[in-house]
């Protein structure tokens, strides 16, 4: 069976890391030390650094100042019972640092490279038999939601055809880096810019291994590949076997998938996406059935706005009438983007800051409902009280329910239903996903869009509004390709 990760026999480590020299300066004083274990920790942090968040537009976990959470079960599996000794030694010799933020059952300790090792990465072969064997099962044990192996097969088989204009990408990354450095106003801002540069370069370098670089997480059961970690502005540099790519995505997708909650059948415990979601489904089944049966203008209006792709525009117009929420210098598009970002943030944040520890307050979750955003949350309640009530009940026991459930509603619809249906009907159509967005070659995009809307309507119960974007348009914001200037 082919592996599901970037070279199960390869680690990514900082290019200036010489563990043998560090061992001479600080000899490990505990049993079970292996250089390959240090390599593995570096590789896991590297993967976290290159994970792109499309909402914040940043790499890694910026809420934790770039620290990457390392889960105890994963560390114990790969490093053994003395995993803490390995981590403490790496801290002692100055390879990594820890943020010391821990909350049992919720938040793992976060680690990141020290400034000395925030450098380009190189590959190191995994030559240890035991580590190699454990690494081969990484996907199944820790990334692995395996409920639909057919989905993984239908997406994985096309990854090897992806190509990137690496020289132009490197030029763009360097161009952005120097422009950003000149405008930086603090040392921390400079360090974040350096991290972003390193992450972007590492992702571009990973394209030659894209065939094996994929996983499906257990939280929201989303599919992750080299494309999901790539910043949107660099999509125009990607092709498939020489053909340009294009995408179809769903307007106001979070609220579109929320429409599934208006169907009583969604609340049946037999649906796999309810696993580990702490909600009383029996109560919600009857509550939803009563809500839908009673109908009402608010529900119909909500459905109509979402299906027409005008929900954020409606909320923008409602908020704009207050005259105090927006800076008047913002364009209409900037205001809409702000409304979208803040509504998603409000949906997934801790309600009223209850049960939030001090370091989470530093992240801004506890204060998210105060100030101007309080007006936005009240606007949602006033216009759609029934939908608002439904969302509040979902968040009541555990606010993580919302993000977990919404991601699973999306992934079960897009990945487990639509992708498999489209692959059956069009077996020669290349398919890639970036969460709620589906990608293929330009010549097949309109065929894909029609099929995508058809199958979404079947699984969600309502027809979506989708939009098509050809990826060459993302190049418009990039600097001129020096290779093209030379030929001109």
For the chain, the domains span 1-131
pLDDT for residue 26:
92
Q: What are phi and psi of 246, to 5 degrees?
A: -150, 160
Report CA-CA distances (Å) from 16 to 96, 116, 118, 121, 189. 13, 9, 9, 9, 23
Query: Which residues, given as ranges, of the chain have pLDDT below 70?
Result: 1-9, 51-65, 104-106, 128-149, 208-213, 269, 273, 276-297, 321-328, 350-370, 397, 483-488
Q: How many angstroms separate the CA atoms of 121 and 205, rounded?
A: 9
Is the Cβ–Cβ distance between 96 and 45 less than 8 Å?
A: yes
Q: How many angstroms separate the CA atoms of 264 and 196, rounded?
A: 44
pLDDT per residue as tens digits for the range 239-282: 998 899 999 999 999 999 988 888 777 777 677 767 766 666 55
Q: How many angstroms separate the CA atoms of 315 and 302, rounded?
A: 11
Query: The dihedral of CA 460, 396, 146, 407: what is its sign?
Result: positive
Global model pTM greater than 0.85: no
Residue-wise burial string across 126-154, b where 16 or more C-beta atoms lie within 10 A, e elsewhere: bebeebeebbbebbeebbbbebbeebbeb
What lies within 8 Å, CB to CB, of 323 at 6+ separation is none
């Amino acid at each position: 069976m082919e592996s599901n990760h970037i070279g199960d026999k390869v680690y990514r480590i900082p290019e200036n890391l010489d563990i043998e020299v560090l061992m001479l300066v600080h000899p490990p004083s505990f049993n079970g030390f292996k250089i390959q274990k240090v390599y593995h920790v570096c590789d896991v942090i590297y993967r976290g650094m290159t994970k792109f968040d499309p909402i914040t537009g940043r790499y890694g976990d910026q809420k934790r100042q770039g620290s990457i959470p390392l889960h105890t079960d994963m560390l114990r599996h790969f490093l053994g019972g003395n995993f803490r000794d390995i981590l403490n030694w790496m801290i002692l010799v100055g390879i990594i640092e820890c943020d010391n933020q821990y909350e049992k059952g919720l938040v793992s300790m976060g680690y990141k490279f020290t400034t000395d090792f925030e450098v380009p990465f190189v590959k190191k072969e995994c030559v240890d038999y035991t580590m190699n064997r454990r690494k081969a099962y990484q996907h199944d044990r820790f990334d692995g939601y395996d409920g639909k192996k057919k989905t993984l097969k239908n997406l994985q088989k096309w990854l090897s055809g992806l190509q990137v204009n690496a020289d132009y990408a490197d030029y763009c990354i360097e161009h952005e880096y120097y422009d950003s450095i000149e405008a930086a106003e603090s040392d921390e801002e400079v360090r974040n810019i350096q991290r972003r540069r390193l992450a972007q370069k590492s992702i571009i370098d990973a394209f030659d291994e894209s065939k094996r670089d994929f996983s499906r997480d257990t939280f929201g059961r989303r599919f992750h590949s080299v494309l999901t970690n790539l910043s949107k502005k660099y999509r125009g540099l990607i092709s498939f076997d020489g053909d340009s790519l294009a995408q179809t995505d769903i307007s106001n997708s979070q609220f579109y998938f929320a429409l599934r909650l208006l169907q009583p059948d969604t609340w049946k415990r037999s649906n796999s996406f309810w696993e580990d979601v702490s909600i009383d489904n029996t109560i919600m089944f009857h509550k939803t059935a009563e809500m839908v049966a009673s109908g009402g203008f608010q529900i119909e209006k909500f459905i109509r706005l979402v299906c027409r792709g005008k929900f954020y525009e409606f909320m923008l117009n409602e908020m704009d009438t207050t005259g105090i929420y927006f800076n008047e210098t913002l364009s209409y598009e900037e205001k809409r983007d702000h409304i979208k970002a803040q509504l998603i943030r409000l949906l997934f944040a801790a309600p009223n800051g209850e049960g939030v520890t001090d370091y989470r307050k530093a992240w801004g979750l506890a204060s998210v409902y105060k100030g101007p955003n309080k007006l936005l949350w009240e606007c949602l309640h006033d216009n759609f009280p029934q939908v608002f009530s439904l969302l509040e009940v979902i968040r009541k026991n555990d606010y993580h329910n919302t993000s977990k459930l919404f991601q699973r509603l999306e992934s079960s619809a897009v990945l487990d239903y639509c992708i498999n249906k489209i692959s059956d009907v069009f077996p020669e159509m290349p398919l890639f996903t970036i969460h709620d967005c589906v990608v293929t070659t330009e010549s097949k995009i309109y065929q894909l869009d029609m099929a995508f809307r058809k199958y979404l309507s079947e699984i969600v119960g309502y027809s979506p509004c989708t939009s098509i974007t050809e990826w060459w348009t993302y190049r418009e914001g990039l600097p001129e390709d020096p290779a093209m200037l030379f030929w001109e």
